[in-house]
Amino acid sequence: MLVKEKTIKENIVKISVIQGPNLNMLGIREQNIYGGMKLEQIHEEMKKTAEAHNLEIDFFQSNLEGEIVDKVQECLGETDLIIINPAAYTHTSIAIRDAISAVSIPTVEVHISNVNRREEFRQKSLISPVAAGTIVGFGPFGYHLGLLAGIQILNEVKAMQEQQQAAQPQA
């Protein structure tokens, strides 16, 4: 896991939240599974948490696989952490998996529903093996948990980098 050196020096941590297909329909679709909270409300709550931790956060949603791949690639050198809910692409997209793997940015996978208790085809994630961790089944609160997990991951990476720098001989 690499964290952009410039970001650590500037003390500005940037987080990109990437949302997959049909998540723009939250609050409308299958409320018995996904609840009544709209995507905009989830993002507003995440913004509040990010601001409280002096983090910069941006949001992206697309129903198109290629646009999600492009967004992941655009994060390289710009973003310290990705929080992603690839939605249905979780189970089908080698392209999104490969993009996450290629950029080597710590990534937290989030799912609103407990995919492990749903249809068999939803129980296999192609993304989980390349993510730092996965949060499932906590409803919209899962995004908050993902953000907190990401903050912890970044703190650990920063501490490890500081230890490595301290261990290097001074010129």
The full set of domain ranges for the chain reads 5-162
Residues pairing with 102 in the sheet = none
pLDDT-based confidence at residue 84 (cuts at 50, 70, 90): very high
Where are the strands (E) in the chain, listed by range? 13-19, 55-61, 81-85, 107-111, 133-136
Most confident of 34-38, 105-109, 118-122, 154-158: 105-109
- Taking residues 37-60, report their average pLDDT: 94
- Which pLDDT score, from 0 to 100, does residue 7 have? 41
Task: State the pTM of this model.
Answer: 0.85
- Which pLDDT score, from 0 to 100, does residue 2 have? 43
DSSP string, 17-42: EEE-TTGGGTTTS-HHHH-S--HHHH
If one counts every other C-beta atom within 10 angstroms of the C-beta of residue 156, the result is 13
Task: Decide the pairing of beta strands 133-136 and 107-111.
Answer: parallel
With a pLDDT cut of 90, the percent of the chain lying above it is 67
13-19 sheet: strands from edge to edge: 55-61, 13-19, 81-85, 107-111, 133-136
The C-alpha angle with vertex 37 and arms to 146 and 72, in degrees rounded to 5, equals 40
- Taking residues 12-34, report their average pLDDT: 88
| Least confidently predicted of 16-25, 30-39, 77-86 | 30-39
pLDDT-based confidence at residue 6 (cuts at 50, 70, 90): very low
Q: Give me the architecture of the 5-162 domain, per CATH.
A: 3-Layer(aba) Sandwich (3.40)
Catalytic residue set: 34, 111
